[in-house]
Structure 1
């Protein structure tokens, strides 16, 4: 019973200590003003880019896939309806393509004509799709220019098949079968021995479209100041098709020239004696933002400025009114600092995102859609990022017992790597390493669009892609905060022991 009472006393004592530290924080005018300033900086510097950015006119539509992600869905489709179960089998005998080379430096004009060649993810194969509406659910078995056979579905799912492409005297046999809501992909080198690639479950209507397709993503090249996307197309030859006509032909997602009548880079098909030559451009994949589209985290660029103020506030609070039992006081300060910063950061992030969207729409810009969970992770993760960085700064202040060194070290490790990255002061490789090894890795929690191995994109930090996954990067920041707090506790614990010994003497 005595032990229980002592435990209750200890818990009550820590709760009282938390309340006392919260009271100190609340009564310190400078700390309160600092948190307000941090929130205002997050909001104002978040709104500024949306106010100054404009595309003019109505915002272009953003295509959403079955799961709510922003996708691109542009390809040439030769198809017919399939009701109930069924299958399509083809032999893919060749794949060729064209790529538009960039103009020579200093030249004016459209540049040279396309030259023979294929981009690595040029693709052709067989598909089952819920109609020809862009963004509709689908499953496809395909051969690619450099990444072998794949089975992909609903834009964000990819299953790897056999390596190697379509070569002369080495065709690829492809098969896609529907059995209820189950879709099964197969491949073969001779049309006799079949290898299963994968099986997917999809909720499809009774009648779908089944057929052959071709698509070729733009040729993405880095030009020193950014990325440029060049035209590319692919032509695939199919024969030994097990289905008979009639066939429908759709250039899914084709855009028009300014006259509104002429297709821009159209695809096409030539049919002769059961042989189909399908030519397509575009891609069937999630968007990566390589066209400069607005991502939700761009509305939170003010976090970098607010974080500087948060660091200063945390350092000032760490060195305010230390009493006896410094270890427990430090823990209480860390809890109060992290909680207050998270609440303020969450409110600022929500307000910023909500205000930016209508402003962007009025300027002809639409934010790329993401899943609700991703949006929650970006907004709440931003608040958690601020809170973890605040605890890190507070722990350094307790460790150094000096404000200026704590602020300088916190700024150098959390803020400076990101500034160096976005101002092109350091190389891409160096920025990748800094964002792996320093607490600045925590900014990965804001990345809204993942890196897809089967989509070539601008996967560098300046374009919003971090070398670590969102939660892994945040874990790096939390590890630094925990380490700094542990070292500070160890140091203060030694001081408390010395003080107790002196008081006994």
Structure 2
């Protein structure tokens, strides 16, 4: 029997430099694929135009006019600064001490958790002026707060069960707060520097009862109970160490009484023969979080732009599966994971660059329109494109658009169906946002924590401070997660989808 000798075929070796035969070559190939398909370029251009146009239309439909004068704090933020103040002038350094013996509700709605009774050092009686205060609250224990946006927790003592001793010491611009349960053993709450106090300041007792609104939402609708509070605080053992030119303590309402409060009545101060001070007042000393979010109002077009970016990410891979071209790609490049990485890199870079240009233009035009519609300083400060929170929202929105495109690409690898992929991405990213407007609040907030829709939090321009009680309503643009934490949820979903796509592309035939 005659045997035919076999010939060993040597493995293929590319004549190209390894850098050109590797990932760099794949990037160029995928880049070329994208730019040679006119339909994809058209979708990309339409996505940018639609994003800008809807941002502009959304801003054009928003306007504001009139309203009471706003109070601006030391940092330029809009604040609430209205409370009952029993005070004396202090020249130079000194220390004020008191014991808060009780805090009761006068409005009939119950004490709010951030109702406050304590002592304050304030540069003047002008609303919005610098200050530092130590206080007892019904729901959050003893606190030290200064200049409206800063808050530090002290002992979580229950004022309704035991009196609280408070002390505030001034040494120049350095203010130190203390608390005690017996007036003998003191715990330091904090030491802060407050600029702009001046040599003579106003020191004394204060009471504030913030306005409250309790919102309930069920499948049948939304209801709310709103109204201002009014509280009475009692104090004794009031002492002031330091130089004062005043002959005694005077009572003042800092800021006008809330016209929506109980009869809009001013506060009162009474002093008993035994030295017990009783203050009744309303209002709040805190950031004002009731104004519209001008940053978020400038990005309404991103919601529609997502649909186009999801379509691009989907078609960038499913079109090859549909026409069988993916086999050619995998034959030319056996490393399928490199192909997936190159596709994700290219579509991510293209959509991010386009999204960044669209959101920057859309934000700039929307801000100009909002200004012409009454959104002007000081209530609505000028926002520079290159400073936070505007810069974070612009770049973050571009990242959001890019991540959705990459998520769609990964889902497309798994499903290999254009319609199924787009529908899946819409259900994951857009549907939770829409449902959150109608679902009961706990369910809506869960959706905005656990789904990729949490990433829309990156567009928030407001800082929601923990020392202000507020209802976080999705329709008002409030998200339960911080901007970066919300975006991280979408990053996690995209990473998981890419891992699933990598597993799928290696296990399945092309």
Query: What TM-score results when the alignment is normalised by the length of structure 2?
Result: 0.82
Deviation at 1:395?
1.2
Q: How does 1:346-357 map to 2 (within 5 A)?
A: 346-357=356-367
Seen in structure 2, the aligned counterparts of structure 1 residues 396 and 60 have a Cα distance that, compared at 3 Å, is farther
Deviation at 1:413?
0.7
Map of 2:300 onto structure 1: 301
| Separation in 1, partners of 2:499, 2:411 | 10
Seen in structure 2, the aligned counterparts of structure 1 residues 359 and 182 have a Cα distance that, compared at 3 Å, is same
Map of 1:106 onto structure 2: none
Map of 1:437 onto structure 2: 450
Map of 1:310 onto structure 2: 309
| Separation in 2, partners of 1:78, 1:164 | 24
Q: How does 1:182-221 map to 2 (within 5 A)?
A: 182-207=174-199, 208-221=201-214
Deviation at 1:453?
3.4
Q: Assess if the C-alpha contact under 8 Å between 1:413 and 1:440 holds in 2.
A: yes
Map of 1:105 onto structure 2: none
1:49 and 2:64 correspond: no
* Larger displacement relative to structure 2 (349-358 or 402-411): 349-358
Deviation at 1:308?
1.0
| Separation in 1, partners of 2:464, 2:97 | 32
Map of 1:233 onto structure 2: 230
1:482 and 2:495 correspond: yes
Map of 1:159 onto structure 2: 152
Map of 1:329 onto structure 2: 339
Q: Assess if the C-alpha contact under 8 Å between 2:35 and 2:41 holds in 1.
A: yes
Map of 2:19 onto structure 1: 10
Q: Deviations over 1:88-143 (max 9, x none)?
A: 111223322322xxxxxxxxxxxxxxx37422211111112233333333211011
* Unmatched runs of 5 consecutive residues or more in structure 1: 100-114, 500-505
Seen in structure 2, the aligned counterparts of structure 1 residues 185 and 33 have a Cα distance that, compared at 3 Å, is same
Computing the radius of gyration over CA atoms, which structure comes out larger, 1 or 2? 2
| Separation in 2, partners of 1:481, 1:70 | 38
SS in 1 for 2:203: strand
| Separation in 2, partners of 1:223, 1:473 | 24
Map of 1:172 onto structure 2: 164
Map of 2:353 onto structure 1: 343
Within the candidate set 121, 127, 132, 2:120 is matched to 127
Q: Deviations over 1:130-162 (max 9, x none)?
A: 333333332110111333221112223222223
Deviation at 1:312?
0.7
Q: How does 1:65-464 map to 2 (within 5 A)?
A: 65-99=73-107, 115=108, 117-167=110-160, 170-207=162-199, 208-222=201-215, 224=217, 225=222, 227-243=224-240, 245-246=246-247, 247=249, 249-254=251-256, 264-271=264-271, 274-289=275-290, 293-320=292-319, 322=326, 323=329, 324-325=332-333, 326-366=336-376, 372-422=387-437, 424=438, 426-464=439-477
Deviation at 1:387?
0.9
Q: Deviations over 1:49-103 (max 9, x none)?
A: 332233334x76554444444432222333333343221111223322322xxxx
Aligned residue-pair number: 468
Deviation at 1:388?
0.8
Deviation at 1:238?
2.7
SS in 2 for 1:141: strand
Map of 2:28 onto structure 1: 19
Q: CA RMSD in A?
A: 3.1
Map of 1:102 onto structure 2: none
Q: Deviations over 1:271-312 (max 9, x none)?
A: 5655433232211122333xx633421322222111111101
SS in 2 for 1:458: coil
Deviation at 1:379?
2.1
Q: Assess if the C-alpha contact under 8 Å between 1:31 and 1:313 holds in 2.
A: yes
| Separation in 1, partners of 2:259, 2:435 | 41
Map of 2:11 onto structure 1: none
Deviation at 1:242?
1.3
Seen in structure 2, the aligned counterparts of structure 1 residues 205 and 116 have a Cα distance that, compared at 3 Å, is closer
Q: Deviations over 1:199-255 (max 9, x none)?
A: 223334442332222111012121543655302112223332212644455432326
| Separation in 2, partners of 1:60, 1:35 | 45
